[in-house]
Amino acid sequence: MNRIFYSVAIVAALLLSVLKTNAQGCPGCNIDTTCFKFQDVSLCPPALPTGCLDSTYSEDITFYIPQNLVYQGTAVTLKRIEIVSITNVPPGLNWTVNNANKIYDVTSDPATQRGCVKICGTPTSLGTYAITVTVLATAGSPIGNQTITQSFSIPLNIRVCSGGCNDYYCIGKDVECDTLTAAFNTLYTAPTPKVLEYSWNYGDGVTSTSASPTHFYGTPGTYVPELTLNQYDLTLDSVKVVALGSWYAQLISGACITDCDPDLYFEFQSGGPLFTSPSKSDEKTSIWTKAQLDAKNGNKPVILENSTPIFHLWDADAGNFTNPDDDGGTTTQIITAPGTYLLSTTAGGAASGSITLYIGKTLDTTIVQKDTIIVKALPPATLITALPDSVVCGQDSVTLQLYTGPYRYVWTKNDTSIIPLEEKSTYGISGNAYARKDSVSTIKALIIDTITGCQIDVPTIHVLQKTPVAVIVAAAGVYQINGTTLEAEAGYTYQWLFNGLPISGATSATYEPLVDSSNYSVVCTNAGGCSDTSNEVFFIKRTNVGIANVFDASGMVKLYPNPSNGTVTLSISKSFNGSIQLSVVNVLGENVYSEALGTVNGSMLKQLDLNQLSNGNYILRLSSGQMTAQKRLTITR
């Protein structure tokens, strides 16, 4: 039945994964009445959109909860869902639900099967947040009503999105961590044929005259980019005309009689009033300066009102009905920028004039627009410190540490398991006393500034778990084998200890103590460099030892099968002196089983029932008077 409630509870988690425990500032919520899925929970939209840092966020979410569910063949009647708690929510988000008490009693009425959550606010911290939602689900089934509390963690990503726009330009990104590349895209377009010139000051001492530039901010700070936008009118600054042919002259039999040199003037039409230039007397090549043109125009520049002006060339005569001005032809020219333009006119089917227009500009309007770009600082770069070091033997532990500040820390192990979104700057790793081979754990950390939302990945550290000394060494790694000698567990290098202090030169598997009635132990070190200290033996020296008083009789004892599933056979091949007491000791030195075996005359074969013991390593001990024996035993099932 627990799996039934998983689907029910996960819905509530999805619905409210960006909520805070206090609803504020999110008025109203519109229910989507088309949200429906037969005999299954539904969420409309099916997933929450990513939030943008420092940008307004608003979303209506409708959830549909059918009364009757069929889950893996089991009929379930859902009765109630209650939202218990919501934690680890990104700062800046608020919420409203349509049921203020956060309890949804489900009936057959469709109106009770839909609810709504409005989420709004302005996220103020970057990152992926594992939001934890705890719900209480109550449902009925063939086996009765059940109420189960479940918690779920669902990620919500808050990222940097596109920047904002003002009246004259947009910034691709206006908030970022560490560095920022801003793409400035101008929005303002000048009416034809006006022209624009751009002057950018990025706020860091760098300037540009491009229309839509890109600029890199490499240092954290607050910058105020400024665009100065100069809008110009195109103006007719000067004109040069060279009269061609004889269209302006009075000819008889091809010879000029009168008006042999033209009196040139022109008309210029560019969307505004017709402009007529002063006339020049008897000049085949005539030039009108800007001062002359402006004076004729009321001491104002001759401004182009459209981009296709009409130029009309004339020769001034009497200008009356009997002797009208001679028409030198018209022409047009597309003009979009200041510069020199060459034109020609035609009269009577032949070229009549070669015209050079000099187009300038005059300032019409200046626009200044500022904006703001914020580059937030990352948490300070750091390395993970391993104390005491990054190597673990046995049950030793390693503490991984980062500097402490107003940060949130996410520890990750082996790229797959998050250790869970820790709020502290340290993480401890304990060794595995039962490891059978060396292994390496890859540890990463993500540091998130809780004020700015900026985060930095800390370089990876590797923690080496070395194969430890077998746990049996600490429990029974050394024992007295006869009246004069101590022997350690095989397979190691050794350093014998006398009352806890090293004995010079005592580095073999056996040691003959020089001081009677004292405590001895041994440090065993394996090939990988891991060490452990054995049990401590109180040594009593014995002399004149014979077969009847051998101190250690372990060679006379066998256990099989070993490893065992809990049922083991004990074989004693020779007589002990007196009644035998059997005990089983765990790796902590605790006595977990004991039995009196009586006396052994010649030999003994006995089956032991140790099924009550859990899997692990043990020491089986036999004692009788001055004779002892011990054997290692492993139970595994």
Position with higher pLDDT, 511 vs 75: 511
pLDDT at residue 156 greater than cutoff 80: no
CB of 36 closer than 8 Å to CB of 113: no
CA distances, 494 to each of 279, 502, 509, 513, 556 (Å): 120, 10, 7, 15, 26
pLDDT of residue 211: 93
pLDDT band at 354 (very low <50, low <70, confident <90, very high): very high
Which tens digits make up the pLDDT trace of 586-631? Answer: 866 688 999 888 887 767 888 889 899 988 888 888 888 767 777 8
pLDDT of residue 12: 44
State the Cα–Cα distance between residues 12 and 131, nearest whole angstrom: 12
Which structure tokens are listed for 58?
């608003």
pLDDT at residue 433 greater than cutoff 90: no
Report whether CATH 1.10.10.1590 matches the domain 548-637. no
pLDDT of residue 207: 97
CA distances, 53 to each of 90, 93, 162, 374, 606 (Å): 10, 11, 10, 12, 75
State the Cα–Cα distance between residues 506 and 173, nearest whole angstrom: 72
pLDDT of residue 4: 41
SS3 293: helix
Position with higher pLDDT, 472 vs 2: 472
The residues of the chain that CATH labels 2.60.40.3080 are 548-637
CA distances, 224 to each of 205, 227, 369, 373 (Å): 11, 10, 10, 6
CA distances, 285 to each of 245, 289, 345 (Å): 12, 13, 14
pLDDT band at 202 (very low <50, low <70, confident <90, very high): very high
CB of 134 closer than 8 Å to CB of 149: yes
pLDDT of residue 38: 54
Closest CA to 193 of 336, 332, 311, 334: 336
pLDDT band at 184 (very low <50, low <70, confident <90, very high): very high
DSSP 117-150: EEEEE---S-EEEEEEEEEEEEEEETTEEEEEEE
pLDDT at residue 155 greater than cutoff 70: no
DSSP 380: P
pLDDT of residue 73: 45
Q: Which of 18-32, 42-56, 108-122 has the highest mean pLDDT?
A: 108-122
Closest CA to 145 of 5, 41, 42: 5
Contacts of 109 (CB under 8 A, 6+ apart): none
Evaluate the CA torsion angle 442, 446, 447, 450 in order and state its sign. negative
Neighbour tally for 184: CB within 10 Å: 22
pLDDT of residue 147: 75
The residues of the chain that CATH labels 2.60.40.150 are 162-377
Which tens digits make up the pLDDT trace of 241-300? Answer: 999 988 988 877 677 777 788 999 999 999 889 999 999 999 999 999 999 999 999 999
State the Cα–Cα distance between residues 424 and 447, nearest whole angstrom: 10
**What is the number of alpha carbons within 13 Å of residue 475 lying toward its C-beta?**
21
Neighbour tally for 369: CB within 10 Å: 16
pLDDT band at 302 (very low <50, low <70, confident <90, very high): very high
State the Cα–Cα distance between residues 474 and 468, nearest whole angstrom: 12
Position with higher pLDDT, 496 vs 115: 496
CA distances, 613 to each of 121, 171, 584, 607, 630 (Å): 59, 71, 10, 15, 18
Beta-bridge partners for 144: 141
- Write down the architecture of domain 378-466 according to CATH: Sandwich (2.60)
pLDDT at residue 410 greater than cutoff 90: no
Closest CA to 233 of 131, 142, 307, 138: 307
- Considering the chain, what is the average pLDDT of its residues? 81
Question: The domain 162-377: what is its CATH number?
Answer: 2.60.40.150
The residues of the chain that CATH labels 2.60.40.10 are 378-466
State the Cα–Cα distance between residues 245 and 252, nearest whole angstrom: 15
Which tens digits make up the pLDDT trace of 112-127? Answer: 667 777 778 888 876 6
Tell me the average pLDDT across 125-139: 68
pLDDT at residue 11 greater than cutoff 70: no
State the Cα–Cα distance between residues 215 and 181, nearest whole angstrom: 6
pLDDT at residue 205 greater than cutoff 90: yes
DSSP 322-365: SSPPEEEEEEE----SSEEEEEEEEETTEEEEEEEEEEEEEEEE
SS3 283: coil
